[in-house]
């Protein structure tokens, strides 16, 4: 049966499917083990392109392995998503974040950080097409997760409502601390979002 209130990761994919067109350029800001990168590469098709960022070579290797032949549609970037504007030109069709640490990694202390995550979102909002969407899966159960959650909520709440709509989605009855979703939809053209 169809689930109307999906979990966070399926919902983030659904939002991207509804806003990103075939042939567009998109960004996976946190490649990790490549689940979102693969989804994005399949969705944008042969004419599209994915820029996938991670600061760990191990993550990019794991992503490349998952992609197989789809690697042709993907540029793997070993750099922080905070430098996205060095690699990617406007307009992009959408972007996905999956915050926290790399699952199954030897070093679970390597995590996304408030300042760089916010810098990346801010720059990606400028690069995004009008009507485009940025999805962010936010985990707050690990060490450092609460600080990132608080900083992010403060930042997105201050984005001007004429420029973007920001939504937070969360299932409230789940065990094992699943992520919540932040989704940001760009409503008009701008190079840099205004803050209130």
Alpha carbon distance 176, 98 (integer Å):
17
The answer to whether residue 75 forms part of the interface with ligand SAM (CB under 6 A) is no
The answer to whether residue 135 forms part of the interface with ligand SAM (CB under 6 A) is no
Tell how strand 25-28 and strand 49-54 pair up.
parallel
8 within 8 A of 178, measured Cβ to Cβ: yes
Measured from the CB atom, the residue of 19 and 98 that comes closer to ligand SAM is: 98
**Residue with the CB atom nearest ligand SAM in the bound state:** 32
Span 109-128, contacts to ligand SAM by CB under 6 A:
110, 112, 116
Rule CB under 6 A: choose which of 55, 92, 133, 182 binds ligand SAM: 55
Residue 118 three-state SS? helix
In this chain, which stretch among 25-33, 68-76, 140-148, 155-163 interacts with ligand SAM, using CB under 6 A? Answer: 25-33
- CA quadruple 30, 85, 44, 171: dihedral sign: positive
Nearest distance, CB of residue 116 and ligand SAM, angstroms: 4
Alpha carbon distance 85, 120 (integer Å):
9
């Amino acid at each position: 049966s169809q689930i109307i209130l999906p979990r966070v990761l399926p919902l983030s994919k659904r939002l991207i499917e509804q806003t990103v067109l075939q042939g567009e350029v998109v960004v996976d800001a946190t490649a990790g083990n490549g689940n979102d990168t693969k989804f994005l590469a399949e969705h944008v098709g042969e004419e599209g392109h994915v820029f996938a960022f991670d600061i760990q070579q191990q993550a990019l290797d794991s992503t490349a392995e998952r992609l197989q032949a789809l690697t042709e549609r993907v540029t793997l970037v070993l750099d922080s998503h905070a430098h996205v504007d060095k690699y990617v030109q406007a307009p992009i069709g959408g972007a996905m974040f999956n915050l926290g640490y790399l699952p199954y990694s030897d070093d679970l202390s390597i995590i996304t950080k408030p300042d760089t995550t916010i810098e990346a979102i801010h720059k990606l909002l400028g690069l995004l097409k009008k009507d485009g969407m940025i999805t962010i899966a936010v985990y707050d159960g690990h060490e450092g997760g609460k600080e990132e959650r608080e900083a992010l909520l403060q930042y997105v709440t201050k984005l001007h409502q004429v420029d973007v709509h920001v939504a937070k989605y969360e299932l409230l009855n789940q065990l094992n601390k699943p992520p919540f979703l932040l989704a940001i939809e760009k409503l008009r053209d701008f190079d840099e979002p205004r803050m209130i």
